[in-house]
Structure 1
Amino acid sequence: MNAETRPFSLALADPLDTARGPIERREGFLLRVEDAEGSVGVGEAAPLPGWTESREECEAALDDAASALESGERPESVLADLGGGVARGATPAARHALDLALADLRASREGLALYRFLGASDRVESVPVNATVGDAGVEETVEVAERAVESGFDCVKLKVGSRPLAADIERVEAVADALADAELRADANGAWTRPEAQRFLDAVGNRLAYVEQPLPATDLAGLAALSGPVALDETLARVAFEDALDADPDAVVLKPMALGGPRPAVAAAERAREAGVLPVVTTTIDGVVARTAAVHVAAAIPERPACGLATADLLESDLGPDPASVEDGRAVVPQAPGNGTPEVWPDDA
């Protein structure tokens, strides 16, 4: 199997402020694989420290994987060598690139859209997505949230945790008052102590579908003890998935980039459903290859909720045309064979 990597760097249109600090740029690698019959697949690795390995670790892992594939090693063995999830030494972003590239290749060879290859039995035209509102004052937060709903979004996620707790409570109350019919979520990125998180839930938990990662990732006991709707995100990058489910969350936020690829993300969603936990698919503000694959992952999950896939506008530029554009609060699911992003690596490149 032939394998080739190519680096990329994508600036955000505006820095995204989170409780972990601003995100200003997404850097990573494209991976192209081609089998003996000429079938091609393309994957993307966009590492994000805190969720995945570093860029340097990702590059080294992809170089090793490409060399192994070129030497004739079985692709599934190479995938296994990249580790998975929270295993020590794992490189989930690099694994995502290879898992996606192989799935793209095989789906294309079989003439299946990627979401059908991932297990969907019915045609899915689009999936619901949420709008994300970054940290801002009350008036600006309300204005941005209102514009999102006016443009077709039924679900809005507010970034919280960067301001004093009382200010975030005021922001949520103001948006909830202004948008009585929209589903609201909040994302704290692990910013709070247990008393702070409980105070927030006591104040506005009944106005939110859930609060995403209110406590640090590894505080499973604290997360389990909170009274109110809680979703886990960063926790999934730090502890085993089954241990995260033991914290009894209402939802889990599944980032294929942090879970090691589209196929592990679909498997995690199935396991969450079995446990009565809502699976919500999101990106890590990825380029079009990984973002489109995340749309396919969401499409492969039955009874999917609004997912965090409307992130293309956060990028100043992209890796290629977007086949999974967002309109009226829904992301189009590409129906072409494979992932639907061949233009990022044209035949004459």
Structure 2
Amino acid sequence: MSIEPFTLQLTRPLETARGPIHQRDGFLVRIEYAEETGVGEATPLPGWTESLSDCRDALERAPELAREEDWGVALGETNAPAARHALAVALADAKARARGVPLYRSLGSDELVHRVPVNATVGDADPAETAERAAEAVADGFGCVKVKVGARSVTADADRLQAVREAVGPDVTLRADANGAWDRAEAERALDSFASFGLQYVEQPLPASEVPAHAALRSAGTVPIALDESLSARSVTDVLATDAADYLVLKPMALGGPDRARQAARQARQAGVTPVVSTTIDGVVARTAAVHVAAAIPDVPACGLATAAWLESDMCRDPAPVAAGEIEVPQTDGLGVSPDEQ
């Protein structure tokens, strides 16, 4: 096993609860398994996963544990989610290569999937600019637009969403993402104010830890609720048990690997909750692994996978480009990423 550090500069700062991030630091991992070499990526994100140093420590412990036991035990004993993600992707890549199938087929898909729908994301701006950006995304072929809300007053955000709906028409799927910005009273006002805009859902209206409060919001039935950040604070099983969400936004890096993300999607569907796959603004290896996870989920709605534009450059050629609101699913054996190919 090899561990290679990397740094990817962002085109613009990524705002998080711990402040802006200007670059993504992580590790490219290669594992030899079943006479194949698989590649994985660990790109920790503060607030979601372990720290960069803890990630490196976990990766460095894994080969010794694998030699003493096996890679299955190493996966089971690696509790740092980003580190486990890298190991799980690399092993899954090698196994799928050995079987001669694309990774999504080895994750359980019985169908040939060439493309997965993706959403465009529109950040904070005044109503006119927000509507213009949304209209541009629709003109580029996106059938689903997610608008960031919560940085302004509820009234201002309602004006922005109204402008977007008027600009894109009734047939475009519209989502709003608050990133946990509101308290309970603000969230209730927002859902009431947004009810007439035909939103597919409002994502993470309350802080991550307030899962029972999300359940109360959902029970009001004003606008469907999606949970994202809450999955960093509670397990998928716990979140589903509270009936707090209509949708779960699954980030394979934060969950600990594509296998766990696929299992979470199965759990969600069994509970009557719709899974959506997203990234933590990762490099090409992890981003492509998330594409395979989405491809393995039947009838998956538009996913948050069109994130390559956040990066000034990447580790290698992107095998999963976005066009007309869909992302291409690699059909080559394994993951479909060649880090040595520029």
Q: Same fold (TM over 0.5)?
A: yes
TM-score by length of 2: 0.94
Q: Deviations over 1:134-159 (max 9, x none)?
A: 12222221111111100000000111
| Equivalent-residue separation in structure 2 for 1:20 and 1:214 (angstroms) | 18
Q: Deviations over 1:111-138 (max 9, x none)?
A: 0100001010010010000001112222
**2:247 is the alignment partner of 1:256:** no
Give the match for residue 61 of structure 1.
Answer: 58
Contact 2:29 2:41 in 1 (8 A): yes
Contact 1:19 1:160 in 2 (8 A): no
| Equivalent-residue separation in structure 1 for 2:297 and 2:205 (angstroms) | 26
Contact 2:65 2:73 in 1 (8 A): no
| Equivalent-residue separation in structure 1 for 2:14 and 2:163 (angstroms) | 21
Structure 2 gap ranges (5+): none
| Equivalent-residue separation in structure 1 for 2:232 and 2:123 (angstroms) | 22
Percent of pairs with identical residues: 56
SS in structure 1 of the partner of residue 130 of structure 2:
helix
Q: Deviations over 1:23-61 (max 9, x none)?
A: 3211111110013x5311000011111111111111111
**2:145 is the alignment partner of 1:156:** yes
| Equivalent-residue separation in structure 2 for 1:213 and 1:23 (angstroms) | 20
Give the match for residue 202 of structure 2.
Answer: 211
1:65 shift after superposition: 1.2
> Which structure 2 residues correspond to residues 85-104 of structure 1 after superposition, within 5 A?
91-104=80-93
What is the root-mean-square deviation of aligned Cα atoms in Å?
A: 1.5
Give the match for residue 174 of structure 2.
Answer: 184
**2:291 is the alignment partner of 1:302:** no
Contact 1:104 1:339 in 2 (8 A): yes
1:19 shift after superposition: 6.5
Q: Deviations over 1:279-338 (max 9, x none)?
A: 000011110000001000000000110000000111111111000000000000000000
Give the number of aligned pairs.
335
CA gap 1:17/1:164 in 2 versus in 1, 3 angstroms: farther
| Equivalent-residue separation in structure 2 for 1:247 and 1:191 (angstroms) | 21
Instruction: Report the AA paired with residue 11 of structure 1.
Output: Q
| Equivalent-residue separation in structure 2 for 1:140 and 1:10 (angstroms) | 29
Give the match for residue 80 of structure 1.
Answer: 76
Contact 1:18 1:161 in 2 (8 A): no
1:66 shift after superposition: 3.1
Q: Deviations over 1:188-227 (max 9, x none)?
A: 1111100101110001134211011000111122101113
SS in structure 1 of the partner of residue 242 of structure 2:
coil
TM-score by length of 1: 0.93
SS in structure 2 of the partner of residue 59 of structure 1:
helix
Contact 1:252 1:278 in 2 (8 A): yes
> Which structure 2 residues correspond to residues 327-346 of structure 1 after superposition, within 5 A?
327-342=323-338, 344-345=339-340
Give the match for residue 226 of structure 2.
Answer: 231
Structure 1 gap ranges (5+): 84-90
